[in-house]
Amino acid sequence: MFDLANGRPLNFKKWIEENSHKLVPPVNNAQVWTDSDFMITVVGSPNERNDFHDNPTEEFFYQLKGNASAILWKDGKFDRVVFEEGDIFLMPPHQQHSPQRPEEGSLCLVIERKRPVGELDAVSWFCGACGNLIKRYEMDLDDITKDLPPVYEAFYETSQAERTCSKCGEIHPGRDYPAWHKQLANGKSPA
């Protein structure tokens, strides 16, 4: 038998069952293979977030169970794509997105490329009321689980003055996710 770097075919349903303890808060995800050219991850739920990911490469989504969505941001406007159970979707590079998985027990397969050398990821927070950029952090992403938490913490520790929108004066509520979603719902470009 050949020695295959990533092993023999595995039963995906069984793998999900065995990793189900990771697919719930606070972790909410598990990587199928590590150290490969693809970052193949199963994402669970529920989650709450208001950050937007700017990925220099494409992202493939396959909504395995339940429903979810992603809020999109472009040029100061918001939109939303809905992932119904069974849907597949390919997010274009640099389309800033904020996945929303409020439904308990939902599962999504997400496949990302390992980033080409020198191409940066970014995480941004936008004003829910007017779509203006509040804060953007760029990074050379190597490990999703290790590289992102410090960025979230940095944003949550910013002062109210730093989170005040330079365009409309609204204060970004930081990690108060329901408050931010309320601003979005009442804003200029609701998603």
Residues that bind Fe ion (CB under 5 A): 127, 129-130, 132, 165, 167-168, 170
Give CA 47 to chain center in angstroms: 10
Q: Which stretch of DSSP H or E encloses residue 57?
A: none
Q: Nearest approach, Cβ of 170 to Fe ion (angstroms)?
A: 5
Gyration radius of the chain over CA positions: 17
Backbone angles phi, psi at 156, to 5 degrees: -65, -20
Q: Nearest approach, Cβ of 176 to Fe ion (angstroms)?
A: 16
* CB closer to Fe ion, 37 vs 75: 75
Q: Nearest approach, Cβ of 111 to Fe ion (angstroms)?
A: 34
- Take residue 39 and report the two structure tokens written for it: 């970052």
Euclidean distance between CA atoms 183 and 173, whole angstroms: 9
* CB closer to Fe ion, 16 vs 165: 165
* CB closer to Fe ion, 99 vs 187: 187
Q: Nearest approach, Cβ of 172 to Fe ion (angstroms)?
A: 8
- Burial class from Cβ neighbours inside 10 Å (0-12, 13-18, 19+) for residue 13 reads exposed
**CB within 8 A of 163, min separation 6: which ones?**
125, 134, 135, 171, 172, 173, 174
* CB closer to Fe ion, 97 vs 163: 163
* CB closer to Fe ion, 34 vs 159: 159
Q: Nearest approach, Cβ of 50 to Fe ion (angstroms)?
A: 14
Neighbours of 145 (CB within 10 A): 11
